Amino acid sequence: MRGRQAHEWTNREINPEVREFLAQLPLSLWEDNLCFVHGSPNSQHEYMLPEIDAFTALERVMSSGAEVLFCGHTHVPYVRTLKDSHLQVQVKQSSQVQSRHFTAAVKRIVNAGSVGEPRHGRPNATYVIYETETQQVTLREVEYDYQKTCAAIIEKGLPPIFAWRLARGLEFAERADDPSHVCER
Amino acid sequence: MYWAILSGIEGNLAAYEAVMQDLGRQSTTISELYILGDLIGPTSSSEKLVQRVHNPRRGELKPQVCQGWWEEQCLILHGLGRSPEPTKLTERYGMAMVKTLWDSVSRETVGWLKSLDFGFFELDCLLIHGSSVSVEDELTPETSPLVICDRLARMGANALFCGRSGLTFKYQLQGGSTTSSLTTLNGEQSPHTVEAPPCSVIGVGSVGRIPSHTAYTLYNPGTGQVEFKTVRYGATKGFGALLSSNALDGF
């Protein structure tokens, strides 16, 4: 319900120029062997949480074709490194048996966190710095006057829970929310 | 006790009859009969085939049927699919196929197709037309093992039976590992090794796609044994004679 309210409010507030700009944005960006997406290479709605299965994480990076996959969406910054990956496969077809060995070079997932709606347990803005020469990733957390933003949320008539969750850096979900809901936008 | 697993009948009534006859000749007990989608196809016998499935003969099992690619295309044509336009159908077979498929299936049957499940989960096995991603997802012997891991992990299955490729094969992930480390704002976790779970994908073959040649699968859920069956039927073998062969396999 409050999600719909937020969508409707945003729909009213966004002017045509901004709407046009947003509509032409790509779903992914590339820079050498780096790929940038919002959710995952599959969908901007897929959550790649820090604790997702290691082989699932590896599949997402491999499917992008990148060495390092940058994403967001979970609003929790992290760096996941996967190395020494190998799999042994046997395929039987038409009385033939074939064995295959799969290996992968080091892959990383870097989640940039969230500037405006953090969910790592604190109200600070988060982002990452990637050093292209050394491939070093630094997770950054920046304090700002979030209370001013919370006051503006209330003043605009948006659901107060939005201010509550920003002040705590937490997601808020009532029990009444449908836990089986899958966004199919 | 075996499960008989069919897919890709594609409206080929003669092929389905050949398989049902072959099942009747099996010495082992068949406890379940699954049809993993593509029951119908753009053929005039699709409607008769649906009626045949609805009304098994004496001693035959009633099949459990899930949706496949052709069912999805049919539902899209009737405005009941997950896509507004039959783009995949026309891209692959041309515009004329829209009418051919429309004419092959009655509205009553369309209602029944809409009610079908997307797949079945029995014991630790996922039985589905394509994969846990979609009816169109085609798993083959060449599919990356990471994709195989992902498709099984999505449903928490140890074995996935599918029919999209039309091929009979057994793809076994025998082992492997990766070393994972995680850094968050709260610190760095020590690297740890994650073992790949042993799991399998079984391509169950196609009953009706290749004229005069059907392929289906028998599975023993107690032992994990997989048996691929092929049946040749029709005029090419003379007088409608049926020839059956099998490839026995265990895992």
Distance (Å) from the alpha carbon of A82 to chain B's nearest alpha carbon: 5
Residue A179: the pLDDT is 45
More confident residue, B217 or B236: B217
- Chain B residues close to A41, C-beta within 8 Å: none
Residue window 65-84, chain B: list those with CB within 8 Å of chain A: none
Partner B contacted by A95 (CB < 8 A):
yes
Residue A73 lies in a domain: yes
Q: How confident is the model at residue A95 (pLDDT cuts 50, 70, 90)?
A: confident
- Map residue A150 onto helix, strand or coil: helix
Partner A contacted by B131 (CB < 8 A):
no
Q: What angle do CA A12, A14, A19 make, to 5 degrees?
A: 125
Percent of chain B with pLDDT over 90: 88
Nearest to A93 among B146, B169, B179 (CB): B169
A62, B147 contact by CB (below 8 A): no
Percent of chain A with pLDDT over 90: 79
Partner A contacted by B95 (CB < 8 A):
no
Chain A residue whose CA is closest to B194: A54
B165, B140 contact by CB (below 8 A): yes
Count of domains forming chain A: 1
Q: Give residue-wise pLDDT tens across range B166-197.
A: 999 999 999 999 999 999 999 999 999 999 98
Its domain, for residue A93, covers 14-145
Residue A164 lies in a domain: no
Partner B contacted by A102 (CB < 8 A):
yes
Residue A141 lies in a domain: yes
Residue A8 lies in a domain: no
Residue A181 lies in a domain: no
- Asked if the model's pLDDT at residue B71 lies above 90, the reply is yes
- Asked if the model's pLDDT at residue B2 lies above 90, the reply is yes
Q: Which two tokens stand for residue B167?
A: 């091929």
Q: How confident is the model at residue A185 (pLDDT cuts 50, 70, 90)?
A: very low
B229, B223 contact by CB (below 8 A): no
Residue A182 lies in a domain: no
Nearest to A90 among B174, B191, B193 (CB): B174
Chain A residue whose CA is closest to B170: A92
Q: How confident is the model at residue B247 (pLDDT cuts 50, 70, 90)?
A: low
Partner B contacted by A82 (CB < 8 A):
yes
Nearest to B181 among A59, A81, A89 (CB): A81
Q: Which residue matches tokens 């850094």?
A: B183
Number of other CB atoms surrounding residue A20 within 10 Å: 10
- Asked if the model's pLDDT at residue B241 lies above 60, the reply is no
Between CA B24 and CA B42 the distance in angstroms is: 28
Average model confidence (pLDDT) across chain B: 92
- Asked if the model's pLDDT at residue B238 lies above 70, the reply is no
- Chain B residues close to A59, C-beta within 8 Å: 144, 146-147, 149-150
- Map residue B37 onto helix, strand or coil: coil
Partner A contacted by B178 (CB < 8 A):
yes
Between CA B7 and CA B164 the distance in angstroms is: 8
Residue A28 lies in a domain: yes
Torsion angle, alpha carbons of A53, A59, A61, A67, to 10: 110
Residue B137: the pLDDT is 96
Residue B235: the pLDDT is 59
Q: What is the CATH number of the domain that holds A32?
A: 3.60.21.10
- Asked if A92 and B149 come within 8 Å (Cβ–Cβ), the reply is no
Partner B contacted by A81 (CB < 8 A):
yes
Residue A23 lies in a domain: yes
Partners of residue A129 on adjacent β-strands: A138
H/E element, A104 = strand A96-104
Residue A176: the pLDDT is 43
- Asked if the model's pLDDT at residue B251 lies above 60, the reply is no
Q: Give residue-wise pLDDT tens across range B16-45.
A: 999 999 999 999 999 999 999 999 999 999
Q: What is the value of pTM for the model shown?
A: 0.85
- Asked if the model's pLDDT at residue A94 lies above 50, the reply is yes
